[in-house]
Amino acid sequence: MHIRNWMALAHDVAAAALASCWLAARCKSMGVTAPLLLFIIESTLRWKEGKRLAWLPITAMAAILIGSLVVWSLGLLPGATFGVVESISGELWGAGVHALTEARAFVVYWLLLILPLPGWLCIDHDFALSRTLWHHGAIFALLLHAALLALAIRFAIRGPRLTAIGILWFYVTLSPYAVIPHVEVLVEYKTYMPCIGFFMIVADLLHALRHVMPRRGQVAIVAASAVL
């Protein structure tokens, strides 16, 4: 009887989690990233502890993620489209141009999180489109992101694992903005979720300093980070 009660509770929790995931996807495009984020956290931490992955809930949530993207691509969700978009100036572009442009925008987001200088901040950035790999250096942005993702995978296997999760969190939560064309190609508020990953990296770095730096140096660096 005790085991049955626990199984019933597990089913209820699983159903609530799946429903919440679907509702999140319906409320905002970023909601579809929840299963992938959970998979990254689950796999990175469990591999470290030598535990098996909880494949059933991860697979179920991944199915919701894929289903949500399919529904999106069919245009069944309000305001969802993978087609061309038109700016106020009348300029048109599609998913490929948008992805190249967002690759450069993601580099700017990294820079703004690391060093948010007042002169770099703007409520409405004038950001040019990249129509080819070489246009405005889009290829170099892609190479940078590929290097960071490769580094994250290496960290996920060997550590530091919180840094690995932070890097992957940044890219996963920004991914809907990269694949779904929209008019605002560079807007600072889009980093409100990705910045959680950035702060994971900062926390991991500050924690690592405890083993290589005297206490006064640690206090100075923490203070400088807080000021930034």
State the DSSP string of 66-126.
HHHHHHHHTT-STT--SS-EE-TT--EE-HHHHHHHHHHHHHHHHHHHH---GGG--SS--
Torsion angle in degrees (nearest 10) through CA of 106, 109, 110, 116: 160
How far is Cα of residue 9 from the mean position of the Cα atoms in its chain? 31
Give dist(CA 50, CA 221) in Å, integer: 34
Is 53 or 188 the better-scoring residue by pLDDT? 188
Residue 20 pLDDT greater than 70, yes or no: yes
- Mean pLDDT of the 28-54 span: 74
pLDDT band at 50 (very low <50, low <70, confident <90, very high): low
Looking at every residue in the chain, the average pLDDT score rounds to 80
Residue 82 pLDDT greater than 70, yes or no: no
Distance linking the first and last C-alpha atoms of the chain = 56
State what percent of residues in the chain have pLDDT above 90: 29
**Which one, of 10, 16, 20, lies nearest residue 54 by Cα?**
10
Identify the pLDDT of residue 51.
Answer: 59
Beta carbons of 63 and 49 less than 8 angstroms apart = no
State what percent of residues in the chain have pLDDT above 70: 75
pLDDT band at 45 (very low <50, low <70, confident <90, very high): confident
Beta carbons of 11 and 24 less than 8 angstroms apart = no
Residue 60 pLDDT greater than 90, yes or no: no
Is 68 or 175 the better-scoring residue by pLDDT? 175
Give dist(CA 178, CA 120) in Å, integer: 22
Is 18 or 82 the better-scoring residue by pLDDT? 18
Query: What's the chain's length in residues?
Result: 228
> What DSSP state is assigned to residue 125?
-
Identify the pLDDT of residue 208.
Answer: 86
Lowest mean per-residue pLDDT among 2-6, 31-35, 124-128, 170-174: 2-6
Q: pTM for this one?
A: 0.79
> What DSSP state is assigned to residue 93?
E
pLDDT band at 3 (very low <50, low <70, confident <90, very high): low
- Mean pLDDT of the 151-164 span: 90
pLDDT band at 83 (very low <50, low <70, confident <90, very high): low
Q: Which amino acid is at 59?
A: T
- Mean pLDDT of the 173-178 span: 88
Lowest mean per-residue pLDDT among 83-92, 145-154, 155-164, 203-212: 83-92
